[in-house]
Amino acid sequence: MRQKAEERFRTLMREIDYLNNISQTLSWDMRVMMPKDVAQYRGEEMGFLAGQIHALETSSEMASLLQQLEEPPSDDAVLRAMVQKARRNYDKLTQIPEDLFSAYAAHNLKTEHIWAEARAKNDFSMVLPFLKQEFAYKKELISCAGFPDDPVTGLMDEWETGTTRQQIDRLFETLRNFLVPFVQRLRSEPQPDPAPLRGFFPREKQMAFCREVLQAVGYNFDRGRVDESAHPYTTFNYRKDIRFTCRYFEDDFTRATLSCLHEGGHAIHWQNMGQELDGTTLAVSTSLPIDESQARFQENILGRSLAFWEHFLPLAKKYFPELKSVSPERFYHALNALHISPLRLTSDELTYNLHIILRYELEKALLDGTLPFEELPAAWREKSQEYLGVCPENDADGVLQDMHWFSGYICYYQSYVLGNCYDGHFLHAMKRDIPDMVDQIRQGDFSHILNWNISHIHRFASTKSPHQVLWDATGEELSAKWYLQYLTDKYTEIYHL
Ligand SMILES: [Zn+2]
């Protein structure tokens, strides 16, 4: 009896896995290849697939199989994790009334559309009632899912189970108290010369350069591909098919290089998830912050380091001869110069964190009801001035700059900074385990770094909690300590403090 239930459950989970992957491939096609006129029909196809997945996850058969397999729990750790995950999904999805869910989905689409128009017209009032309603829906949905008292923790739980508002508050306070005066101090110092980054870098040459860099750091081109799209992103598919996209700017080749390293970091993480997890639905990142940590490790810790460019600048010079007189040090300093901007996406590695902290504090105040939505643009400007020392000239470059809140990603931003903090720990532990790590990077040998990431993080996918991953890899609980140490060391050297 139990044997039969187990077999049937595994079959259902494999079917859900197939459908999820098919939907990822279709969505890649939609963003990269699809002819324009098929958009509406493709939307229907994707909606149909989502409905099929939902039906499998919430079926009465699923409920009965879960009951049979929960008591007693299986000795097989993978099966146990599959049952726990399916239970969480089942409870969450069946607790939300279907009409609430479809009303929200329709509202969400509309808000996203109106946000784009409001941004183009620089008119926050256009999207204001929709944003209010978006937050109201999110609060209602999260209260159905079992977080009636604290929507902030509830919403963050979607991206990293177990992380609470109190933890993020403490972590962000530590970061803010350090970063705000540190950035002010750096501002008053002489700035690195940006000239080494300037020039004309043909698109085709950038593509070839990025390909060599990606191969060196461990992206497997037999299990993925890189294409172009307006907004770079990675498909989260079966581990043998992890594709991503990039965008190239001919006046600065480092933008595409760092963006490829970021998306490539996500992709390397997913390409190396354990084979035993195929078809179980567990071959996904254990949390968004851990996934981001893997992307940011490639982009920032490696891609913005001196050793990395000591190795790759000579290769870059073969593609872009105008770099011929640039030294790795000058290049590295230019790449890491402070770039204080009201825009999150063009900011430097350091002030990026302040952009996130600003958003987190504002969304929390909106959810708590302590900040009226009407006052959001002014509050945004005030905080921007206070934390970054710059004020956006208009709302398009202020509160309207990012799509997140207008497409339902509320209490999502903190994942980026959590990823940075995880990286601080991972870097510290990696240097302990690979003492000549920097020399290896300088020589273009990334194999030990890749293997460290695979054996401590990637292969477990979602079978370990993020906190367990961190604990097992480093013996520590999450804090900002090592990340701040990394930033201090780096910028003290660059700015000759
Ligand atoms: Zn990312």
Which of these is catalytic: 263, 292, 349, 363?
263
- Report phi then psi at 171, rounded to 5: -60, -45
Q: Is 263 a catalytic residue?
A: yes
Task: Quote the ligand 1 centre to 484 CA distance (angstroms).
Answer: 21
b/e per residue 81-91 (b: at least 16 CB within 10 A)? bbbebbbebbe
**Band of residue 382 on the pLDDT scale cut at 50, 70, 90:** very high
**Å from CA of 257 to ligand 1 middle:** 14
Q: Does pLDDT of 231 surpass 90? A: no
From ligand 1's centre to the CA of 473, what distance in Å?
22
Ligand 1 centroid, distance to 291 Cα (angstroms): 7
pLDDT digits (tens, 9 = 90+) for 255-285: 999 999 999 999 999 999 999 999 999 999 9
Average pLDDT over residues 8-28: 96
Q: Rounded distance, CA 13 to CA 79, Å?
A: 11
- Answer whether residue 424 shows pLDDT above 80: yes
407: pLDDT strictly greater than 80: yes
pLDDT of 192 higher than 90: yes
Per-residue pLDDT, averaged over 72-76, amounts to 94
CA of 333 to the centre of ligand 1 (A): 24
d(CA 266, ligand 1 centre) in Å: 7
Q: What pLDDT, in 10s, does the model give residues 297-352? A: 999 999 999 999 999 999 999 999 999 999 999 999 999 999 999 999 999 999 99
What pLDDT does residue 454 have? 98
- Return the pLDDT at 197: 94
Position 364: which residue type? Answer: K
Q: How far is the CA of 388 from the centre of ligand 1 (A)?
A: 23
The mean pLDDT value for 448-471 works out to 97
List all residues 6 or more positions away from 57 whose beta carbon is below 8 Å from its beta carbon: 16, 86, 89, 90, 93
Q: How confident is the model at residue 374 (pLDDT cuts 50, 70, 90)?
A: very high
The pLDDT, as a whole number, for residue 148 is 72
CA 173 to ligand 1 centroid distance, Å: 23
**156 CA to middle of ligand 1, Å?**
17
- 236 CA to centre of ligand 1 in angstroms: 12
Which CATH class name applies to 166-494? mainly alpha
Q: Give the mean pLDDT of 428-449.
A: 98
pLDDT at 146: 79
- Position 482 pLDDT exceeds 90: yes
What pLDDT band is residue 1 in, cutting at 50, 70 and 90?
A: confident
